[in-house]
Structure 1
Amino acid sequence: MKLNKYTWIFVGLIAAVYLGTLLWVRLTNPVYLQQNMYRTWEKSYVMHPRADQSFVNTSTNNNHQKPVALSESQGYGMWITIMAAKKGWASRQDFDRFVNYWLAHRDYVGDQHQTPTYLMSWRQYYNRHHQWVADVNSATDGDVYIDMALAQAARQWPSKADYYRSLAKKLSSDILAYEYNPQTRALTVGDWVTKDSPYWRLMRTSDVMPFVFKTLAETTGDSRWQTVNNAMLDRLVDLSRQHQTGLVSDFAWITRNSAKPVKPKTISTKQDGSYDFNACRVPMMMAVSDDPRAQKVLRKMLRFFSHQQYVTAGYSLSGKRLVKYQSASFSAPIFFAVSHHRGEGFDNLFDSQKYIFSRPLTRKNYYDATLTVIAALEGLN
């Protein structure tokens, strides 16, 4: 009996050492971690309806029998593929499959939806007749992500730069034609929002992307992107100033000179006026901008998070936790941001939010997985 007891203790110690070694390799070898996470994400979420097309599946629990594609996920897929290509893990053909799917699922505008655009239909799925259908209307965040990826592709693959740049200009032109409010000088949340819509002055805070706007201004030569950048950043600063935490709401009502959080259930959920699953991306969107306004908004947020015992999945704007659990959708953008601001007083967040890499990438939650992969590819360098 003693032999059996000691044998099991020995086996347990060996197993513990083995698992500890695997965890150590995972956390101390960023290249291994990045490649492993990218490969897992690509294998788990990227689907190929045709040999020359790809989209990212966003369905609940990643159901491959009932997949759902979103313009948001298409943009993220293209962005991640560019990042992977820079490391030699993805090819131009991989990227082009995402481009082809986007081009095959563009939105139409007009009273009868008769005018084609380069905006992407915001959602595609199988209907009850098992037909792959596309919903009308667009979502601005997805279109801007796609546009950014095209601009980056022009730099990544010079031999096709003219092609990608041409597409970027066409998409950019349609964003500014159909997803832009000239009164507020800000982007709307989609092409379905017109001047007669009650949502004409609605801004999604995660649509404020200063680095992206700067890139699009340079790529397209259209100075209106700088106008958009100035207007939307100013409104984000307005929101940041309203609470000591620096937290901003998912959505806000804006004018040319002011901004205020919306009330619950204004457009989507009871947390529309809270720091929730849209606003959680704001730290990531501010992180690499050299605009002082973006850095001011970011640092105020990070200061709040750095004083939390742990970061949870959602907050009221005064800093009250909405839930008790953590979520990679919130932690990944914070890690991304802090990784670009080491040594500035927020390194405790770099350590605490690194927990998202200590466990296998989820295969059941597109949003968690995608933001984690972006944080890994951009934040673990």
Structure 2
Amino acid sequence: MKKTVFIYTFFTMVIITVSIILLIIRQNSPRELQISIYNQWNDSFVRKIARGKKSYINTKNTKNTNIVLSEAQGYGMLIATEESYGDSKTAQKTFDRLDNYYLSNRYAKTNLMSWKQIISKNTNHIKKYRNNATDGDLYIAYSLIKAAKRWPQKAFYYKKQAKLLLRDILKCNYNSTTGSLMVGNWASGTKYANLLRTSDVLPGQFEQFYRFTGDKSWLRIKNNMLSSLVKLSKEHKTGLIPDMAWIKKDGSVVNVGNKSNFGKYNYCYYYNACRLPYNLSQSDDTKSKQVLHKMMKFFMSREYIAGGYTLSGHQLSNFQSASFGAPIFYAAKNSQKYNKLIQMEKYIFMQKLETDNYYQSVLVTLASEKFEKN
């Protein structure tokens, strides 16, 4: 009898202990998981240069060199401004080092960042490429505005930088004929001035730029670029949008097609367009919501999120892709009706960041901001 009571008591205590542990894990794990992702990001991709107190985001690690892209620098600066990214002083130091690197790698006599640099591991010598990439500079400007809000003691300095950069984006990357942003300043005066890279459509950021500068050009850009997405969205029942499209003289927007020289699948929903759920979900604009909800409805019908789709909805791969799933998770967290997608994509945050896949890792890190928000 005593033995039976002992066994019963023992198992009762085990059950209670396990329940308490599970409750603690449930309460703390989202936050701890988020911190873990930020730490992995720092360890894997943020590289310091002692001279000048600079840091850069390493997008590719080869034997003798590291490769930096302005897109990566912009994302890295944005991550550093997140409220949950480390303590405030450490986060600001990281941001300032990344900012210093951007400042020392501007293109020519502009405030635009050189779109690519190759850094020698042995000498820290930097080979700087000509021209800029629009998305990188947009995110650098946005991160500076966020930095001014988070660290008001340096707000004047960050705001001044942001205004100069936004001025040069409008000066060098704006196509007055289409009313949209070009893919880079190199496209000006060429047929590529009418090329739309759909991942450059950042309605939430454009709204912020207008409020920050008072320049209505940003509202016109937002309206025109979203109108282009609406036209592309209507082409297919899925609502999926290609990586790239042409803006025609009559205002129509057409897919670049499968004979373009922009990449194997740039006429599909691929590694540029996959950022759209993340971008569009940050705006309350009616057009933005219209395009996003149609895409999300398509994803709700999937058993898993694959690595790319034709615009009619056929998978381009048979594997689950965090690069595509992370932006969808981020967008789904804004609406209860997409709870299925939240549950489907939670697995992304339970895995370690892939240290040899910068692009996927940055999208997972950005999406982790929403992980603990229920």
**Structure 2-normalised TM-score?**
0.89
Q: Please identify, of 77-86 and 266-275, the stretch whose mean Cα deviation from structure 2 is larger.
A: 77-86
Aligned counterpart for 2:184 among listed residues 168, 180, 190: 190
Q: Distance in 1 between matches of 2:320 and 2:85?
A: 31
Q: Say whether the 8 Å CA contact 1:188–1:201 is kept in structure 2.
A: yes
Q: C-alpha displacement at 1:65, in angstroms?
A: 4.3
Give the 3-state SS of the residue equivalent to 2:82 in structure 1.
helix
The amino acid that maps onto 2:110 is T
Give the 3-state SS of the residue equivalent to 2:72 in structure 1.
helix
Provide Cα deviations, 1:224-250, integer angstroms capped at 9, x if missing partner. Answer: 111100100110111111110000000
Q: Distance in 1 between matches of 2:223 and 2:194?
A: 16
Q: Distance in 1 between matches of 2:63 and 2:155?
A: 34
Aligned counterpart for 1:337 among listed residues 331, 338, 343: 331
1:105 maps to what in 2?
105
After the TM superposition, which residues 224-235 of structure 1 pair with which residues of structure 2 at under 5 Å, given as runs? Answer: 224-235=217-228
Give the 3-state SS of the residue equivalent to 1:80 in structure 2.
helix
Cα–Cα, structure 1 residues 25 and 230, in superposed 2: closer, same or farther, change >3 Å?
same
CA RMSD across the alignment: 2.4
Aligned counterpart for 1:370 among listed residues 348, 362, 374: 362
2:231 maps to what in 1?
238
Q: Distance in 1 between matches of 2:67 and 2:332?
A: 32
1:53 maps to what in 2?
54
Provide Cα deviations, 1:198-252, integer angstroms capped at 9, x if missing partner. Answer: 2110011011111000011111221111110010011011111111000000001
Q: Say whether the 8 Å CA contact 1:121–1:136 is kept in structure 2.
A: yes
Q: Say whether the 8 Å CA contact 1:86–1:156 is kept in structure 2.
A: no
Q: Distance in 1 between matches of 2:279 and 2:74?
A: 14
Q: Say whether the 8 Å CA contact 1:165–1:220 is kept in structure 2.
A: no
The amino acid that maps onto 1:79 is L
Q: Distance in 1 between matches of 2:169 and 2:273?
A: 21
Cα–Cα, structure 1 residues 190 and 311, in superposed 2: closer, same or farther, change >3 Å?
same
1:280 maps to what in 2?
274
Q: Distance in 1 between matches of 2:133 and 2:70?
A: 7
The amino acid that maps onto 2:104 is A
2:302 maps to what in 1?
308
Provide Cα deviations, 1:252-307, integer angstroms capped at 9, x if missing partner. Answer: 10136221111235343121100000000000001121101101111100100010
Provide Cα deviations, 1:132-152, integer angstroms capped at 9, x if missing partner. Answer: 201111100000010100111
Q: Distance in 2 between matches of 1:27 and 1:272?
A: 42
In the alignment, structure 1 residue 154 sits paired with structure 2 residue 155: no
**Structure 2, gaps ≥5 residues long:** 1-17
Give the 3-state SS of the residue equivalent to 2:241 in structure 1.
coil
1:113 maps to what in 2?
none
Q: C-alpha displacement at 1:129, in angstroms?
A: 10
Aligned counterpart for 1:172 among listed residues 144, 166, 174: 166
Cα–Cα, structure 1 residues 209 and 379, in superposed 2: closer, same or farther, change >3 Å?
farther
Give the 3-state SS of the residue equivalent to 1:42 in structure 2.
helix
2:67 maps to what in 1?
68
Q: Distance in 2 between matches of 1:372 and 1:260?
A: 30
Give the 3-state SS of the residue equivalent to 2:59 in structure 1.
coil
Give the 3-state SS of the residue equivalent to 1:199 in structure 2.
helix
In the alignment, structure 1 residue 211 sits paired with structure 2 residue 197: no
Percent identity over paired residues = 40
1:254 maps to what in 2?
247
Aligned counterpart for 1:292 among listed residues 283, 286, 308: 286
Cα–Cα, structure 1 residues 264 and 380, in superposed 2: closer, same or farther, change >3 Å?
farther
Cα–Cα, structure 1 residues 87 and 214, in superposed 2: closer, same or farther, change >3 Å?
farther
In the alignment, structure 1 residue 135 sits paired with structure 2 residue 129: yes
Q: Distance in 2 between matches of 1:378 and 1:106?
A: 32
The amino acid that maps onto 2:225 is M
The amino acid that maps onto 1:156 is R
In the alignment, structure 1 residue 144 sits paired with structure 2 residue 138: yes
The amino acid that maps onto 2:163 is K
After the TM superposition, which residues 14-33 of structure 1 pair with which residues of structure 2 at under 5 Å, given as runs? Answer: 25=25, 29-33=29-33
Q: C-alpha displacement at 1:64, in angstroms?
A: 7.3
Q: Say whether the 8 Å CA contact 1:38–1:84 is kept in structure 2.
A: no
